[in-house]
Chains A and B, each alone.
Chain A
Amino acid sequence: MKMFSRAYNLFIKDLRSELRTRYAINALIMFILVAISVILFSIGNEKIPPQLTAGLYWVVIFFSAMSGLSRAFVSEEEKGTTLTLQLVANADIVFSGKLLFNLSLTFFINLIITFLYAAFFEDFVINNFSLFLITFFFGNIGLAISSTIIASIIAKAGAKGTLYPVLSFPILLPLILTCVQLTIFCFDGINIENSVYELAIVISYDIVMITISYLLFDFIWKE
């Protein structure tokens, strides 16, 4: 319980820091607006199939994660506060705090993306809302966990900007592909019973990634 409270306080520190410095949030919102506008202009009056709509939806989610979620660790490294954090909290508390921050950022940003898609894309019609909620929930958790651990790995590297998407792409590919498939199921109104295989992949992915992350982070954090 005390560990959770300490991690929560680290999350609150990151949240207050973000609200003061606008380190990630402004860049993320601008990215989303630009990406969705470009897609809308490109499509014009064309009618696009649900497969493409689902794919474009997760492409925007993937790249917004790439442009914002690395900040959790990169900002500490750039500000030079990594050592300070190492002196006040153990690795599991730091990872939990950063994960909480990335989870809230992921859910916040992806809710905006979903509302914008629902408002501007005619074909973004969800016929199985409960399946969409489950996909959105577990997909975002997987995205936040993977992005957090990859961010901690690349934070100390020189070419962070390039390395982050390069490392993230193969790690996030199984999650993104399965989430695209599940989103297509949501558009087609397919039952949860008929989506169990894909849902199991997403949930298993989340469990594997969180286990690996907690096992690895201690080594990453101590150099």
Chain B
Amino acid sequence: MNEYSLEIKNLSKKFGRRQVFNNINLSINENTIFGISGANGSGKSTFMKIVAGVLTQDQGKVIHYINNTPINSEKLLNHIGFVSPYLVLYEEFTAEENLIIFSKIRGINYDVEYTKYLFNQLNLYKRRKEIIKTYSSGMKQRMKYIFALIHKPNLLLLDEPTSNLDSEGKSTVYSIVNSFSKEKIVIIASNEEQDLEFCKDILHLENYK
């Protein structure tokens, strides 16, 4: 089994003159649920995007390791699953088409059985052939979990993980988070106390201004 870990060194980010956060140092190993908390606008989403490698930091380094070997940026994306309210799937395609398209662009095989399992777990199997445009906001949020898990990532980044979800959806998400974190890493950025209850450690972004 692959051991995944994450090391963040002296991470700083500014937008113009506004310092979002400054000099964050931390290291996260597998079997961990790590929390990021902070008020609205404190930089939680920015932090998550930098960790995912889709936004550049001003200073510092984010190094992802697999079996103690750094992962190069070209291969990083297939190790990361990302869920957030501002993530949008292609609404003109069906849920299933979206997943096939993303698998092909990622350069991985589309695993029909695993996808069926995910659709069932997120209670979307019957609606898989409908275009995303017709989905409710809660269904879209659940669909994002399938998008985040379909390539079997080692690191799951969840920004506001239960946004738009009903109580059943929240339970499903917490069960996914718990089972995923037994072997891999989950980082949750949220203001909801319920979301952060599972976290072993919590980083408060207000302390890094």
Q: Which residues of A approach B to under 8 Å, CB–CB?
A: 2, 5-6, 9-10, 12-13, 16-17, 20-21, 79-81, 83-84, 86-90, 93, 97, 222-223
Contacts and interface: CB of A to CB of B under 8 A. Distances in A.
Interface in B85-99: 86-93
Given A87-B77, A90-B74, A80 B104 contact: no
25 contacts: A9-B104, A12-B104, A17-B90, A17-B93, A79-B88, A80-B86, A81-B88, A81-B90, A83-B49, A83-B54, A83-B84, A84-B88, A84-B147, A86-B54, A87-B52, A87-B54, A87-B80, A87-B82, A88-B102, A88-B105, A88-B106, A89-B105, A90-B73, A93-B105, A223-B56
A90 B147 CA distance: 17
Contacts of B73: 90
B101 interface: yes
B17 to A, nearest CB: 17
Contacts of B84: 83
Contacts of A84: 87-90, 102, 147
A223 B101 contact: no
B41 interface: no
Given A6-B105, A9-B105, A89-B106, A83 B86 contact: yes
Given A87-B52, A89-B77, A222-B55, A2 B107 contact: yes
A81 B87 CA distance: 7
Given A17-B90, A88-B77, 4 more contacts: A13-B90, A87-B77, A87-B87, A222-B56
A86 B87 CA distance: 11
A13 B101 contact: yes
Instruction: Please list the 4 inter-chain residue pairs (A to B) with the smallest Cβ-Cβ separation, ordered nearest first.
Output: A9-B104, A80-B88, A86-B54, A6-B107
Contact of A21 (B86, B89, B92): B92
Contacts of A223: 55-56
A142 B107 CA distance: 29
A10 B105 CA distance: 6
A20 B97 CA distance: 13
A17 B147 CA distance: 19
A183 B208 CA distance: 62
Contacts of A6: 104-107
A6 B73 CA distance: 16
Nearest to A90: B74
B56 A83 contact: no
B44 to A, nearest CB: 15
A210 B54 CA distance: 23
A202 B112 CA distance: 48
A155 B89 CA distance: 18
A83 B88 contact: yes
Nearest to B54: A86
Nearest to B104: A9
A79 B88 CA distance: 8
